[in-house]
Amino acid sequence: MRKKSGIKRFITTFLVLSFFISFSFTISSCAPELKFGDLTICEQIDDETGEPIKPKDEFDISIDKIYATIKVSGVRAEDNKRFTVKNEDTGEIIFDETKRYSTKKTGYIEGYFYIETEDKKEDQILLEPGKYVVEFYHKGELIDNASFKVNMPEIRIIDVILANEVDENMEPTNPTNEFSPEDIFYACVKLNYQVKGNVLNAKWYTEQNELIDETEYEIPDNYYGGESYITFSLTGENPWPSGKYSVEIYLNKSLYGKYDFGVVGEEAHTIASFSKGNVYDNQEYKFSISYPDNWTYSEEEDETGLEVLFIPPAGTEISVIVMVINEGYF
């Protein structure tokens, strides 16, 4: 048997951190003591003060916001401060910005100063899974740093859909559990995330539980941008014999589910197909009836009434007779 597997792939866009000033106060001309609080990572801050709410150093990949905030006093408005954010796994600095404490105030100021992630867009994440460190500098001198972690998500199968047609992204376009002898079998596995290194398997069986074929697919790249499909397919060198079949789907060698489907002869598919809208209509007897696409009919009328014979394709051992009997006959 010939087989192939497909994967819907995307490019994930990551959002960088932006800088905001929470508030500041003008102090007396006497130089106050220079003080710095602890640099704190959190998922929420007070909107008016910038004070941290819900401090934490570990986040799920679905997190909507991450803040880094620090309380400062005794600095001059024109002094420079600097925030940096580095991915410790890759060594990449993903944010680095130096600015004045305030462009609107003068003299000595105090308050919370923080950075935050931009608003997350659909099918995007804030940061890739990994370890990060935020550093805060005052006038070029490192004052404090704080680390946090974005956890790797756990891959999960959401659904398995059988189909005989898929689109260019290998998503099912014609789900079905009933296939024709010439069809390709598709098993479309819907995932919450794609995480590199995880392995999916599809095992195809006959009604007698004989293994037809097995396909293994190891996910080569991470994709965290939303639900996606990994699709397995099975193509027969010859038309599939009529009968029952099944496919088993495994995630990391653990059976997720078994899915039954059938192959039926072409006549079984067409015997009840009404896509052409064929209608027999007899105005005299005020009688009409729809009939299948590839059927024909013949009619006969005498003193007893009307007899209509609906005729299926050759080789189909069934026919339908409809009779309209005149009054007085039976």
**Residue 260 lies in domain:** 154-264
Q: Is residue 196 part of a domain?
A: yes
Quote the pTM value: 0.64
Q: In this predicted structure, what is the pLDDT of residue 15?
A: 36
- 23 pLDDT above the threshold of 50: no
Q: Is residue 9 part of a domain?
A: no
Q: In this predicted structure, what is the pLDDT of residue 318?
A: 74
Q: Is residue 2 part of a domain?
A: no
For residues 185 and 199, membership in a common domain is answered with: yes
Inter-residue contact 198 to 219 (CB < 8 Å)? yes
Going along 108-170, which residue ranges are E strands? 108-117, 130-138, 141-150, 157-163
For residues 245 and 146, membership in a common domain is answered with: no
Burial state string for 256-288 with b = 16 or more CB within 10 A and e = fewer than 16: beebebbbeeeeeebbeeeeeebeeeeeeeeee
For residues 160 and 260, membership in a common domain is answered with: yes
Spatial CA neighbour of 75 closest among 136, 39, 27, 41? 27
Q: Please provide the size of the chain in residues.
A: 330
137: CATH: 2.60.40.3080
Q: Is residue 33 part of a domain?
A: yes
237: CATH: 2.70.50.60
Which of 130, 150, 170 terminates a domain? The answer is 150
Token readout for 116 is: 């935050």
Residue 321's beta-bridge partner residues?
309
For residues 122 and 171, membership in a common domain is answered with: no
Let me know the angle formed at the C-alpha of 165 by 192 and 254, rounded to the nearest 5 degrees.
Answer: 40
What's the domain count of the chain? 3
Which of 133, 150, 167 terminates a domain? The answer is 150
For residues 144 and 165, membership in a common domain is answered with: no
Q: Quick one: average pLDDT of 81-90?
A: 96
For residues 122 and 21, membership in a common domain is answered with: yes
Inter-residue contact 192 to 155 (CB < 8 Å)? yes
Q: Is residue 87 part of a domain?
A: yes
Between 147 and 226, residue with greater pLDDT: 147
Confidence category of residue 115, pLDDT binned at 50, 70, 90: very high
For residues 27 and 145, membership in a common domain is answered with: yes
For residues 83 and 176, membership in a common domain is answered with: no
For residues 28 and 130, membership in a common domain is answered with: yes
Q: Is residue 314 part of a domain?
A: yes
Q: Range with the lowest mean pLDDT among 53-57, 213-217, 264-268?
A: 264-268
For residues 118 and 46, membership in a common domain is answered with: yes
- 315 pLDDT above the threshold of 70: no
For residues 31 and 139, membership in a common domain is answered with: yes
Q: Is residue 92 part of a domain?
A: yes
Q: Range with the lowest mean pLDDT among 9-13, 198-202, 304-308?
A: 9-13
Q: Is residue 3 part of a domain?
A: no
Which of 247, 264, 281 terminates a domain? The answer is 264
Mean pLDDT across the chain: 86
For residues 69 and 126, membership in a common domain is answered with: yes
